[in-house]
Structure 1
Amino acid sequence: MRLGAYTACLHDRSLDETLKVLGELGLTSAEINTGGFIAAPHIPIDDLLASAGAREDYLGRYAQAGITLTGLNCNGNPLNPDPMVGPKHAADLHRSIELAALLGVKRVVTMSGLPGAHPGATAANWVVNPWDSQWLDALDHQWNEVAIPFWRDIQARAADADVKVCIEMHPHNIVFNPPTLLRLIEQTGATHVGAEMDPSHLFWQGIDPVAAIKYLGDRVFHAAAKDTRINDENVRLFGVLDDRFTRTPADRNPLNLGGHNTLNQWPDQPSWQFVAVGRGHGDDFWVPFLQALHEVDPDMAVNIEHEDTELDQIEGLRLAAENLIAAGHKAGI
């Protein structure tokens, strides 16, 4: 099992500086962004698609640093009905699969996407509690008319490329928990589409990630190491489905997520928040989590995703790496 990091948090550093940081932290795996919601600062995609020599030189930089490129990350919304977003994110995913095959990287991480609620919709719509039949109608449209055809095509592309596409089970997507992931796999007949097991999004939904691994079994292809802290006092008042987000002011350069969409600001008193490995859950979680992943695939990569806003880039990565590596030793992997 390789322990590493998703390098998006080091977007302001060069690739060589980034790989040096990972090596100094004792990590041996890297996952690089290739489009979707954010840019691709650590990989010259067009050059690599065009030249075998460029690919050899690029991978040589990893070998020299003692790091293995274990995944390409293209998280976005390829099903977004906004014509400025969905088609671009879908094209990024197609290109990422092609590039992964050329590089010999067997994993592409992405999200399932989220369509509109009906034909002609211009905004994505997440249905989570369809007690009224109109929302089952919306889900029927989203699954049968949009998601299934799209993901059958992705399955075919991935199988042809011998690449595994790993879906992050992320709320505000049609696949956000183990049953919806299994539904997508079964309804598309997928052999090359499975899970990227990121526990952070499961924690706040009340899902046990270790139980999820056992439920999905060999459909888990890849993993992320990101923790979540549940703030119990705030949960008692606001619950985990919380709409108190606010717009990021223009003078603070909000992150563009495609088209006119930008990343909003979290509530001041969040019910839950993403934190570095060990700051939400201790070894009583991370040890069995790594053991369960190892049972599925001893060669699986587990890459830290740093989104702890209370810690800077290096501090957050260092703490996460220390805790993850320590848990790995205790897990005997």
Structure 2
Amino acid sequence: MALQYGAYTACLSDRSIPQMLDTLKGLGLTSVEVNSGGFIPAPHLPVDSLLASEAARADYLALYEDRGMTLTALNCNGNPLSPNASDGPKHAHDVRTSIELAGLLGVKNVITMSGLPGADAAATLPTWVVNAWHGQDQEILAYQWPVAVRFWKEIDRVARDNDVRVALELHPRNLVFNTTTFQRLIEETGATNIGVEMDTSHLMWQQMDVPTVIRALGDRVYIAAAKDVALFDGVRTKGVLDVDFVPVPADAAGKVPVGYQHWCAQWPDDPAWRFVAVGVGHDVDYWVEVLTALQEVNPDCAINIEHEDAAMSTMEGLTLAAQTLLAAAARVDGTDG
């Protein structure tokens, strides 16, 4: 068994499936993670045709096999617990559909987020409790957790029936966003097929120790995302809970959708932190520590680069990330000469 290195292909959405695969292969990567729904479209996964046709699935997988590549995950990050009618039902449907399709394709991992309900049964928007010191926050959490437990018990059963594992990204603005909230979900659901996608970036900006979290979660770490973060001077006065983002107009070109009629806000001019290419925020030595911890808990874990560095072009970011990750991998494997 050996760790696998690849990329999440959302950043290559302008390329066809063969072009996307050739790009990753040219960078020395072999693992591929494609979008299957949720917040963003699925340009590299024709979901409906693959669900409908065994021949289509065989042809699709042959594109990977012919290049020595492996489809290691379907990604349908979204908010399946949202009380917003335009988000919650669609994202929950996408999770179920992704699990079914992953089972048919023989793909082991479906990546998503735990989701976030509203503050109560009448809510129309999600509510994230950041610091639960107030009694009202305790009331919100007392409503939200049973909602999440009911949903994830069902999804765990669906995943088990399809021989698929569901990996939750520990993402802020979700009910499950750190070690203890994930452990609570497993304890209250008794889930057997729910684990974690170890996205390093969201732990980094919360100032968590990534290798320590990996070891704490152990064999529940199903797959990982290599994604980097850098802290900036804004953190001195704002801390890591930076809310100085700016709304993006509906007619703006290039806006990033996160659901019907909603899209990502613009980063502050003076951010506390920002996503950067792997290797910009943390050097090879750091990634050696991360890969070592992943190898300990999951020796055949796939680690897929996620490029979201707005200061670099897609190929600049992917190239630097691949170089950094593979250099760390060579040291972990003892092949760096």
Same-fold call, TM cutoff 0.5? yes
User: In the comparison of the two structures, how many residue pairs are matched?
Assistant: 331
Residue 243 of structure 2: aligned partner: 243
Q: Does the alignment pair 1:32 with 2:38?
A: no
Q: Which residue of structure 1 aligns with residue 209 of structure 2?
A: 208
Match for residue 225 of structure 2? 224
Report what 2:4 is aligned to: 2
Unaligned 5+ runs, structure 1: none
| 1:215-268 alpha-carbon deviations (Å, 9 max, x no partner) | 11111110000001011x211111111111111123323222112221110101
State the one-letter code of the partner of 1:218.
D
1:48 and 1:83 map into 2 onto residues whose CA distance is: 27
Q: 2:108 aligns with which of 106, 109, 112?
A: 106
Query: Which moved further from structure 2: 233-242 or 116-125?
Result: 233-242
Q: Is the 8 A contact 2:219 2:297 kept in 1?
A: yes
What is residue 293 of structure 1 aligned with on the other side?
294
* 1:133 partner amino acid: G
Contact 2:72 2:109 in 1 (8 A): yes
> In the aligned structure 1, how far is the partner of 2:4 from the partner of 2:252?
37
Please name the residue that 2:140 is paired with. Answer: 138
TM-score, normalized by length of structure 1? 0.98
Q: Equivalents in 1 of 2:37, 2:45: separation in Å?
A: 10
Give the match for residue 23 of structure 1.
Answer: 25
**1:283: how far off?**
2.1
- Tell me, in whole angstroms, the C-alpha distance in 1 between the residues paired with 2:150 and 2:251: 41
**1:307 is aligned to 2:308:** yes
How far the C-alpha of 1:36 sits from its partner, in A, is 0.2
Separation in 2 of the partners of 1:157 and 1:207?
32
After superposition, the CA RMSD in angstroms is: 0.9
Partner deviation per Cα, 1:29-67 (whole Å, 9 max, x = no partner): 000000000000001111110111100000000011221
4+ residue segments displaced more than 3 Å: none
For 1:93, the equivalent position in structure 2 comes to 95
TM-score when normalising by structure 2: 0.97
5 Å-filtered alignment, 1:169-208, equals: 169-208=170-209
Per-residue Cα deviation, 1:172-205 (whole angstroms, up to 9, x for no partner) = 0001111111111111001100110011000111
> Mind listing any 5+ residue stretches in structure 2 that lack a counterpart?
none
Give how far 1:134 is off: 0.8
2:285·2:328 contact (CA, 8 Å) conserved in 1?
Answer: no
